[in-house]
Every structure is written in C-alpha cells, then in structure tokens.
Amino acid sequence: MSNYTPYKCAKIVNEILKERNIERSLPPQMFYNYVSKGYIPSTDKKVAHDELMKWFEGYFNKNILKVTETPNEDNIDENQLELEL
C-alpha cells in the first residue's frame, strides 16, 4: 500500500472530487494542517492510502455532500413539511 505526502493527498482528493462532478478543490495547505494536527492519521508525515480514503469519505459526507445536496422528496423529512399554526 502506498504512503502519500500531504501534497499528494490533495492531488488525489481533488481528482476524486472532479470525478464526482464537484466543482471544488481542497488546498494542499489544508492537508498539511490536518496531518500535523492528527485529523488525518499519518506516520512520519506520510498518509497511508486506506487512511486517506477513510478520512475523505467522512469529510465528503459531512462537509461537501451537505453543501451540494439539493432538497427533493428523497431527502426531506416529512416532519419538516408540517407547519405549526
């Protein structure tokens, strides 16, 4: 399994975002900060592929999917449609 520098992590994640038709990119500096703070697990500042993918899916679901999701009948809670009078 490969280990990546934070810069390479940014390149990989941004390519995945592009493949998912997300018009957003994450700056390499963010990855350097996240690695140094331990948000992305690493060994000697190198991130294992599995750890990067695990972090990315969590980040994607929490931060990117929420922002890009548009309301439709599949993702609106029925309780949100009730008005209190």
In a domain, 49, yes or no: yes
Specify if 75 maps to a domain: no
Q: Which tens digits make up the pLDDT trace of 26-78?
A: 999 999 999 999 999 999 999 999 999 999 999 998 888 775 555 555 555 55
Instruction: Please check the confidence at residue 13 and state whether its pLDDT lies above 80.
Output: yes
Distance separating the N- and C-terminal Cα atoms of the chain: 59
Tokens read off for 29: 């500096």
Q: Look at residue 78 and tell me if it is in a domain.
A: no
Query: How far, in Å, are 10, 15, 63 from residue 57 at the CA level?
Result: 14, 14, 10
Which pLDDT does position 63 carry in this prediction? Answer: 86
Q: How many domains does the chain have?
A: 1
Give the range of the structural domain holding residue 7, as residue numbers without chain letter.
3-65
Output the pLDDT for position 74: 56
- Residue 61 domain-assigned (yes or no): yes
- Which residues pair with residue 66 across a beta bridge? none
Position 66 scores a pLDDT of: 72
